[in-house]
Amino acid sequence: MRSRLFERRFAIVSGKGGVGRSTVSLALGLTAARHGLRTCVVQLGAREWSARAWGHDQPSYAPVALHEKLPLFACNLNPGDALREYGQMKLRFRALHNLVFENDVMRRLVRMVPGMNEMLMLGKAWHMEAADRGADGAPTWDLLVIDAPATGHGVSLLRLPQVICAAVPVGPMAEDARAMKALLEDPLRTGLHVVTLPQELPTTEALELAEQARTSLGVPTGYLFVNQVLPRILSDGQVRAIARARPSKDPLVAAALKAAVRADQWRADQQVQLDRLHRHSALPIVELPHLLEPMGREPITHLADLCRAGMEAADLRNGAARRA
């Protein structure tokens, strides 16, 4: 089954800070590249360069290849380079661009205008989807995975084109903002994927973000990824047996049993939020297990396998629900 992830070229990944958006973005990018899609994971001014987990230490504004055999790339956009590229593209001549944009007055102005930095980075990502073409005229990218900012900033970013269109109805910036808005609202090109943890606050933000996308933002949605779901360590019978047993005189055994019971309670707390998500989320849910190891090439490859299997299962459940 072909996942819905592959059907739209602009995949936005957002969620509360610390839920693993960048890791999931890399895993989704790898999933798509293994499917044969030329894919770029695009970070928007991120402090942490996600490709470091893949062995690439230096952030790069230009897309860099992450894999020796697969068409997987990554870049980390920043406002300064985006402004420079935008200016050169609009003014055509480098000397004229330098005169207009490469001066302290313009730099201060850009910093003073609310949302301008985000608009520049979003504009670059939009240009990669809409205008980047190869020599044969075909799109450079089959899929762009946009590793968006955390929920609050992410919502502001997605709302920016609406704000610009309302504030500046005419001119080059208004034209670009309308084109960005059209991309973000196009169900054939764009999908917003939400990442959360099975914890109370991230779950609340994830449900609110999905609802905002549907209502005030008008951005089509994709999957809801629940990251770091703990495995079940003890059965119900084992939990009852430990509760009835006398405390062990061996300190190592006692500590191990105590840790196991705590982990089981942690998982039970997670299950409360998982049940809440399954009851209230309109997005198909993909549960990703806690891999219990630092992120690197092998764990991200494993996570990509789990993402693909989870998305296929979610699509089957949704298809069955629609037919019922």
8-55 pLDDT, tens digit per residue, is 999 999 999 999 999 999 999 999 999 999 999 999 988 888 888 888
Range of the domain at 214: 4-323
Q: Is the pLDDT of residue 211 over 90?
A: yes
User: In the chain, how many domains are there?
Assistant: 1
Both structure tokens of 316? 């089957």
Average pLDDT, the chain: 84
Residue-level length of the chain: 324
Side-chain-side CA neighbours of residue 138 (13 Å)? 5
Q: How confident is the model at residue 113 (pLDDT cuts 50, 70, 90)?
A: very low
Q: Is the pLDDT of residue 90 over 90?
A: no
Q: What is the rounded distance in angstroms from the CA atom of residue 178 to the CA atom of residue 197?
A: 34
Q: Is the pLDDT of residue 94 over 70?
A: no
Both structure tokens of 124? 């670059």
147-195 pLDDT, tens digit per residue, is 998 877 788 888 888 888 887 777 777 888 899 999 999 999 999 999 9
Element (H, E) at 100: helix 94-101
- The alpha carbon torsion through 139, 213, 287, 324 (nearest 10 deg) reads -100
Angle subtended by helix axes 172-184 and 151-167, to nearest 10:
130
Helix, strand, or coil here: 248? coil
Q: At 243, which CATH number?
A: 3.40.50.300
> Do 41 and 80 form a contact (C-beta atoms < 8 A)?
no
Q: How confident is the model at residue 100 (pLDDT cuts 50, 70, 90)?
A: very low
215-259 pLDDT, tens digit per residue, is 889 999 999 999 999 988 777 777 777 777 777 777 877 777 777
Percent of the chain whose predicted confidence (pLDDT) is above 70: 87
Beta bridge partners of 192: 12, 221
Residue 138's pLDDT is what?
86
Question: Closest Cα to residue 260, out of 234, 221, 224?
Answer: 234
Higher pLDDT, 103 or 168: 168
